[in-house]
Amino acid sequence: MKKFLGTTILAGTMLFNTATAAPAQDKETVYQVALLQSLTMGYFDGSISVKDLKAHGDTGIGTFEGLNGEMIVLDGVVYQANQACKINVMGDRERVPFSNVTFFDKDFAVKLSDVADKNALEKILNEHVDKHGRNSFYMIKLSGTFNDILVRSEAGAEEPYPTLVEALKTQNELTLENVNGTIVGLYCPDFMSSLNSTGWHFHFITADKKLGGHVLNLNLRSGEAQLDKTDGFRMNLPTKENFHGLNFNQDLKEDIRKAEQDSVRR
């Protein structure tokens, strides 16, 4: 019998569901696999397959079992940026320990030019979030030309898994110059602070689908950001016994900040 924790955000409340079944083409729900906090503590076990993940969305971000690279989901294809930041298409049997996906449904678009860095991009996007509702989720697809963009990825780890911060000490970083591509990202509102990172989280893939990774910084020449405002949220919780050994009664904000933002070049 399926276990349900909580109620539904789709109508303004929150549903935590261990099941993977979802209505076909539900375009008003962000589907999350596990928690960023569990990933931060080193829970890298996959809890669903890529095949199951695609049943819940065609656009999103995440990672793979063992923290094996960065995930970019675009137009229904699940891509991996491996340790060299090279792109692979992932098979349906690959396992996923953390991800956020939705069936992308554009609600509005923002033209962009001469955006100096990641902070400047987030400032512009936050102005639109404030206008449309800061307590909703927003998935973004930003296609454009970048003067440069700094991305990272990682090779993955073996059990016993380290924490996320420890695993990322060996991350590989790559600066791409004069490149066309697409940023896929997610905005989470402040109330998600115990389930995910709040604010923006960006991954990138080049237009030729050869290179990409987690975005650390950027300089955008021109582009257009399409945004999907979403008020529904569902969560898939791992069913393995070791998940229940995790202690979520701790402050992981600094570890999450380091994992999201820190470059080994600094």
Query: What are the per-10-residue average pLDDT scores of the chain (266 residues)?
Result: 39 45 76 98 98 98 98 98 98 98 98 98 98 98 98 95 95 98 98 98 98 98 98 97 96 95 73
pTM: 0.91
Predicted local confidence at residue 9, as pLDDT: 41
At 100, list the tokens.
């956020």
With a CB cutoff of 8 Å and minimum separation 6, the contacts of 223 are 112, 113, 142, 143, 144, 145, 146
177, amino acid identity: E
How far out from the chain centre does Cα 191 lie?
17
Residues 6 or more apart whose CB falls under 8 angstroms from that of 175 comprise 148, 149, 150
Q: 127: Cβ–Cβ under 8 A, 6 or more apart, which residues? A: none
Predicted confidence at residue 24, as pLDDT, reads: 61
pLDDT of residue 8: 39
